[in-house]
Chains A and B, each alone.
Chain A
């Protein structure tokens, strides 16, 4: 079991964004969260990446208690994410964006950078190589030196994935990775996500593209008004009348 979420609740004023949500994700699977807008999917992402502290409940990554940890510790612990609305460092190059992602995996202190010690320099070289490799891995190596804001939309999404992978996550959380993509971009995204899983990273994704989700994930949960109303394999979910009514639409 990689991630266990236990009875997590989160309220904003009178609004119950999440109510007693529990789910567990196994190592090596692709797990999806679906549900209508406002169902609490992104709130759950914000909880497991430390942006929100849950009001109650907790979650564990490979048995390690995570609730209440600082956001800057989450990447180090092995959870990394992308954003629904792309949030790159837009005035930095693609390469530099990925290098920031290496931050939590490099040892040399910030002061070492000022004095330029030998270890710092060799570490910086390996960071650069790793970043280049990751850009190649997601297929945008040719844009390494371009500013993030000048990349195409699809490439920006890939760059966000490369930056998240740079932290060497055990769990990669993707918030609507296919949003705004056309068919061929979505197809190549699917290939990329399958490659990432094959190379050993567990994936959690929020996605509205039902066809992509059903074809890609091993299991999924359906959230509705902050509650989990169903969990199962894609075929189980597609046949669940409650889900069909709440989300997929009655035939």
Chain B
């Protein structure tokens, strides 16, 4: 039971991060039907920038949480600019091209970002300085650290804000109108290009926050960390129903829990033949199951309805 609870806690924390990244995939897919495979690498850039700032300031005597916050303040604008440039340079010229073209381009952009990061930060694993005091408190026998609770609460707040933005504001209205019929939205005076740019900027800001969380939580960052994280978050978005905001959150949390439960119990179940290093298998097993059994995802309803 204690293992179960502990893995549940770990799963929710991991799932919150997946959900935050999955929102970036789902926002862009929802508005223009594009799977932005470079999104995971934007998360990596967020992690790298936060980590760099943390390393620079680690001996400054400033309190740890403040340093992380400063790192975030540097990461968010960097990622927003990256997201804006990706859309402007790589995707906008292909707006009316067949859908395969932007998809391939997205993979290209992903490789480009990884290589740029390798040139800037090197190919070694970079460790996050020990600046965050770690208190753990007990919850029915499971231990939860302050970092973990901040991750869960922080992601939750971001998700509620995003949901409000999309459902209740003028920008959200314009985003949904653009997603359903860009041509008519234009005729109603919506600047579709601006709306799409803002969608990328918004998704990238969430990616920066996720990157900060990942690097601080795991204490490590690497130039190709965005690849696997991106694939997992993409899986989460598909699991929940890509294009659907609640779906991304649900898919992220579910995937996080499935993974950490799997990692926790796999060793016992297989008599030690397979250990927790098989954790990654679960995400892709889930992806295959969803694609076979319910391609529209748990909360998705409209598939192939786009004109």
Chain A interface (Cβ within 8 Å of chain B)? Answer: 49-51, 70-76, 80-81, 83, 87, 89-92, 96, 99-101, 103-106, 108, 110-111, 113-114, 116, 120, 124, 127, 163, 166-167
Contacts and interface: CB of A to CB of B under 8 A. Distances in A.
A163 B173 CA distance: 13
B189 A90 contact: no
Given A72-B190, A89-B184, A103-B189, A114 B171 contact: yes
B146 interface: no
Contact of B180 (A70, A71, A80, A89): A89
Interface of B: 165, 169-174, 176-177, 180-181, 183-192, 194-195, 198, 202, 302
Nearest to A97: B177
Contacts of A167: 188-189
A108 B169 CA distance: 11
Nearest to A96: B173
Nearest to B301: A91
Contacts, number: 91
A103 B174 contact: yes
B307 to A, nearest CB: 9
A127 B170 contact: yes
Contact of B195 (A81, A99, A110): A110
Contact of A110 (B170, B176, B180, B189): B170
9 contacts: A75-B187, A87-B181, A89-B180, A92-B177, A111-B198, A113-B169, A113-B170, A124-B169, A166-B188
A100 B190 contact: yes
Contacts of B180: 89-92
Nearest to A121: B169
B37 to A, nearest CB: 26
Contact of A100 (B169, B177, B183, B202): B177
A159 to B, nearest CB: 12
Contacts of A70: 186
A89 B194 CA distance: 19
Given A71-B187, A81-B187, 16 more contacts: A75-B189, A92-B173, A100-B173, A100-B177, A101-B188, A103-B170, A103-B188, A104-B189, A105-B189, A110-B198, A114-B169, A120-B170, A124-B169, A163-B188, A167-B188, A167-B189
In order of increasing CB-CB distance, the 7 nearest A-B pairs are A104-B189, A75-B189, A113-B171, A113-B169, A100-B177, A89-B180, A71-B186
Q: Which of B172, B183, B188, B198 has the most CB of A within 10 A?
A: B188
Tell me if B's interface is mostly helix, strand, loop or mixed: helix
Given A90-B180, A113-B165, A99 B173 contact: yes
Given A103-B189, A167-B189, A89 B176 contact: yes
B170 A91 contact: no
A210 to B, nearest CB: 28
Contact of B183 (A51, A101, A116): A51
A117 to B, nearest CB: 11
B171 A106 contact: no
Contacts of B165: 113-114
Contacts of A120: 169-170
A76 B189 CA distance: 7
Nearest to B192: A72
A116 B168 CA distance: 11
B27 to A, nearest CB: 14
A49 B187 contact: yes
Contacts of A96: 173, 176
Contacts of B181: 87, 89
B57 to A, nearest CB: 28
A238 to B, nearest CB: 34
A124 B172 CA distance: 12
A89 B177 contact: yes
A57 B195 CA distance: 33
A90 to B, nearest CB: 6
A169 to B, nearest CB: 11
Contact of B170 (A49, A50, A81, A108): A108
A162 B227 CA distance: 47
B241 to A, nearest CB: 13
A124 B164 CA distance: 14
Given A89-B181, A92-B177, A127-B170, A74 B187 contact: yes
Contact of B188 (A51, A75, A111, A124): A75
B172 A113 contact: yes
A110 B187 contact: no
Contacts of A73: 189
